Structure 1
Amino acid sequence: MSSTSSTLPWDVQRLPRAEGRVFLITGGNAGIGYFIAEQLSTAGATVVLGSRDPVKAEVAAVSIRARVTGAQVRAVRLDLADLSSLRTAVESLDVECLDAVVHNAGVALDDPPRRETADGHELMFGTNHLGHFALTHWLMPLLSAAPAARIVTMGSFAAKSERLDLDDLQSRTDYRPKRTYGRSKLAQMYFGLELDRHLRAVDSTVASVLVHPGGALDSLTPSRPPVHRRTAGARLCGAPAALLVQGKHAGAWPAVRAVLDPTVCGGQLWGPRVFSLRGKPQREPVWIHLADTSVAVRLWDASCDLTGVDVGTIPG
């Protein structure tokens, strides 16, 4: 990307138009995923909310339609913790091509005990990483059928201080919830970069981009009842934090830019401008430990074995 294109102004309130394009947001019924979906809807795209809870997804869709005139939004049942269900979920999209998927959904546990998915994988690693890894496999034909599709992976600042234990990816030996969550997000980010290397190797039109939301708090997030309600007390308590972090509506901005901005390229990392914690989205250097391709390759191979799918079979 040229230095000129990388400095083009980007207005989070005036997004490029995206009529005729279809975007899938995993976990689009709540949190940052909801705001990604709402903002992409304002651009005129058809937005599909992927959620394991159809009722919550429909509530979110109703909220978006109420706020965005003419919003084209619908929901599909998507349970990333059940790998056997993902092929059917992709078939239920009922589209000829997909212009972008935002891998946003995630599980974050604060306390023991260790929990597992239906497939016997540690819940956070199995959902946040392996679920999206397998979903990408099933989505690839639809993404490859689009003119220039994007796979946008939502990482986390929690991953910046973590390192993967490739001999204990499932946290069987030493389970600490916050660390396991950070490592699951780190695994997602390694996958997003390695995926782009695979895509470039076959001259694919699909690009894989990493983003992270910085610091995004509920107390700084505008109300979207009944999806999200911010009380007066929460607003007051959260006010001092606004100097350093932001709400989830702003945490959505890097992902929205990664989907819509034609200057964004595969293999890049985008996050908030101010100390990577708040502000408008900008490109930032890929974190040093994420540049270790040997870790990425070993994780890729392990993920193929654990999911039973080979994301490497990418249409050219």
Structure 2
Amino acid sequence: MPSALKTPSWDVHRLPPAEGKSFLVTGGNAGIGYFVAEQLAGTGATVVLGSRDEAKAKAAIASIGSRVPGAKVRHLRLDLADVTSLKASVDALRLDRLDAVVHNAGVALDHPPRRETKDGHELMFATNHLGHFALTRWLAPLLMATPKSRIVTTGSFAAKSERLDLDDLHSTHDYQPKRTYGRSKLAQMIFGFELDRRLRAAGSTTLSVVVHPGGALDSLTPSRPLVHDRTTGERLRGLPLGLLVQGKEAGAWPAVRATLDPDVRGGQLWGPRVFGLRGKPMIEPVWSHLADTTTAARLWAASCDLTGGDLALAPHD
């Protein structure tokens, strides 16, 4: 595959210029999303941080500005757990083009009890999948009016060993936080591949690409004083793990490449080079359960029902 042959030539530290382009990063105020936003800002593009927390978004914008002179970064209030608020958020974007959205934001709960949104949806599934599904619905006209735009969905290695329970998407039975998180990320990834199939069928030039960051730990993540502080003790304790996993700056690389690289194609899966856990980004074979079109169609229909509307993909004239 030509794009696979070009993988070694991609330099994660020398990204191609993207002046005049606009990118939206959900959850761009912290974690991997912050580093996606920081790296994209270095290309000269306009970067919008989608975040519920204005104070954290302002801190992230200040941090990016301190590292990227002249960075064009701004905040968009975005609450993925509140599906009814998303249309107003998209209306507030005030952009005449959107070259990519990086669906990065996510909630990971480690302990019970199970939590629900105001709509009665399990919080992780609602935020990680349903919120991004509904956001894509409202962004679709803008994305499809922008030639060769991209929808980059950030999954997780945790999804590799999970399977969806289509009869219990909200984990109302036998709730286990780590399993529910993995399934919510699996739903995101299945959605990303199904979205690309539907975009191709619609004749759209918009691409849907799925990525995952591998193993990305705070202890291996470089400090950003306004956003993330790493103590010397944390850094030292994390050093042995660096043989297996990486920090969140490197965890951002697959999403950044999927956003910028002209050789990326829709329907691809990108992750870290070394065992899918660390290293520079490369194309991975699509995991078999991500290619299940029957499950994907059922998940799509359920997502339409749960968010109150279909995701129309009519190409822009």
Name the TM-score, length of structure 2 as normaliser. Answer: 0.98
Residues 26 and 50, structure 1, Cα contact 8 Å, conserved in 2:
yes
Residues 25 and 33, structure 1, Cα contact 8 Å, conserved in 2:
yes
Residue matched to 2:190: 190
5+ residue gaps in structure 2? none
Residues 162 and 186, structure 1, Cα contact 8 Å, conserved in 2:
yes
Residues 26 and 33, structure 1, Cα contact 8 Å, conserved in 2:
yes
Residues 220 and 246, structure 1, Cα contact 8 Å, conserved in 2:
yes
Change in 2 beyond 3 A, CA 1:236/1:148: same
DSSP-derived class of the 2:85 partner: helix
Residue 161, structure 1, aligned to residue 157, structure 2 = no
- Please give the alpha-carbon distance, in whole angstroms, between the structure 2 residues aligned to 1:162 and 1:39: 31
DSSP-derived class of the 2:311 partner: coil
Deviation at 1:5, TM superposition (A): 5.5
The one-letter code of the counterpart of 1:24 is: L
Residue matched to 1:206: 206
The one-letter code of the counterpart of 2:285 is: P
Residues 151 and 209, structure 2, Cα contact 8 Å, conserved in 1:
yes
| Deviations, residues 231-283 of structure 1 (Å, cap 9, x unaligned) | 00000100000000000000000000000000000000000001110000000
Residue 84, structure 1, aligned to residue 59, structure 2 = no
- Please give the alpha-carbon distance, in whole angstroms, between the structure 1 residues aligned to 2:82 and 2:186: 21
Residue matched to 2:45: 45
DSSP-derived class of the 2:9 partner: coil
The one-letter code of the counterpart of 1:229 is: D
- Please give the alpha-carbon distance, in whole angstroms, between the structure 1 residues aligned to 2:2 and 2:34: 32
Deviation at 1:2, TM superposition (A): 2.6
- Please give the alpha-carbon distance, in whole angstroms, between the structure 1 residues aligned to 2:87 and 2:185: 23
DSSP-derived class of the 1:271 partner: strand
DSSP-derived class of the 2:158 partner: helix
- Please give the alpha-carbon distance, in whole angstroms, between the structure 2 residues aligned to 1:161 and 1:278: 18
Q: Write out aligned runs for 1:247-266 (5 A).
A: 247-266=247-266
Residues 96 and 145, structure 1, Cα contact 8 Å, conserved in 2:
no
The one-letter code of the counterpart of 2:263 is: T
The one-letter code of the counterpart of 1:18 is: A
The one-letter code of the counterpart of 1:37 is: A
Residue matched to 1:218: 218
Name the TM-score, length of structure 1 as normaliser. Answer: 0.98
Change in 2 beyond 3 A, CA 1:213/1:7: closer
Deviation at 1:96, TM superposition (A): 1.1
The one-letter code of the counterpart of 2:191 is: F
Residue 173, structure 1, aligned to residue 177, structure 2 = no
The one-letter code of the counterpart of 1:242 is: G
Deviation at 1:144, TM superposition (A): 0.8
Deviation at 1:63, TM superposition (A): 0.6
Q: Write out aligned runs for 1:278-297 (5 A).
A: 278-297=278-297
Deviation at 1:203, TM superposition (A): 0.9
Residues 101 and 150, structure 2, Cα contact 8 Å, conserved in 1:
yes
Query: Identity over aligned residues, as a percent?
Result: 73
Deviation at 1:212, TM superposition (A): 0.2
DSSP-derived class of the 1:179 partner: helix
Residue 71, structure 1, aligned to residue 71, structure 2 = yes
- Please give the alpha-carbon distance, in whole angstroms, between the structure 1 residues aligned to 2:69 and 2:313: 40
The one-letter code of the counterpart of 1:256 is: V
Deviation at 1:68, TM superposition (A): 0.2
Residue 36, structure 1, aligned to residue 36, structure 2 = yes
The one-letter code of the counterpart of 2:193 is: L
Deviation at 1:313, TM superposition (A): 4.0
- Please give the alpha-carbon distance, in whole angstroms, between the structure 2 residues aligned to 1:315 and 1:57: 33
5+ residue gaps in structure 1? none
Residue matched to 2:239: 239
The one-letter code of the counterpart of 1:129 is: H
The one-letter code of the counterpart of 1:263 is: D
Deviation at 1:6, TM superposition (A): 3.9
| Deviations, residues 106-156 of structure 1 (Å, cap 9, x unaligned) | 000001111011211000000000000000000001101112100000000
| Equivalent residues, number | 316
